[in-house]
Structure 1
Amino acid sequence: MAKEDLMVLDGTIDEILPDGRFGVTLENTHRIIAYTAGKMRRFRIRSVVGDRVQVEMTPYDLDKGRIIFRERTPGAAPGGPRRGGFRR
């Protein structure tokens, strides 16, 4: 399947499910199950209930999608506290 066939829709996270999945309500009130994209996992971008996200979907399965972008919440700090890494 070519990348041109994917649809990008806006939505809001309304539920956190096990195994790294989220319940997302799209702007057209359709509810889907979505997971985070690999780059979001790699850079440890956390998503919580109420976050506005962009979801990438295929036209063949309109019940599942992939979260590709989380909009920044107003008033939040740009970075946040860094946790200590593994030290010997």
Structure 2
Amino acid sequence: MKEEKWIRGSLITESLPNAIFKIRLDNEDRILGYGSGRIRRSFIRILLEDRVKILISRYDSTKGHIIYRL
């Protein structure tokens, strides 16, 4: 059975050490997120107040992967 995932629009609110970010989702929830493979591999910079797409697992809704910078 494949894991179900959610993709949400969000806003970076704070940058933490080791490329971890505090993110505010569009529905005002706050989660932790970190760059996915392509973001890290391409050296794409993520700054405060950037709009990003985040991939959230249905099993742990407090963490997610940043998959796209808008």
State the TM bucket, normalised to the shorter chain: over 0.9
Supply the RMSD in Å over aligned alpha carbons.
Answer: 1.1
Unaligned runs of 5+ in 1: 72-88
Displacement of 1:2 after TM fit? 2.2
Partner of 2:67: 68
Give the structure-1-normalised TM-score.
0.76
Q: Percent identity?
A: 37
Q: How many residues align?
A: 70
Which has the higher relative contact order, 1 or 2, with Cα contacts under 8 A spaced 6 or more apart? 2
The structure in which a higher percent of residues are strand is 2
- Asked which structure has the greater CA Rg, the reply is 1
Would you identify which runs of 4 or more consecutive aligned residues in structure 1 move more than 3 Å?
A: none
Give the structure-2-normalised TM-score.
0.95
Unaligned runs of 5+ in 2: none
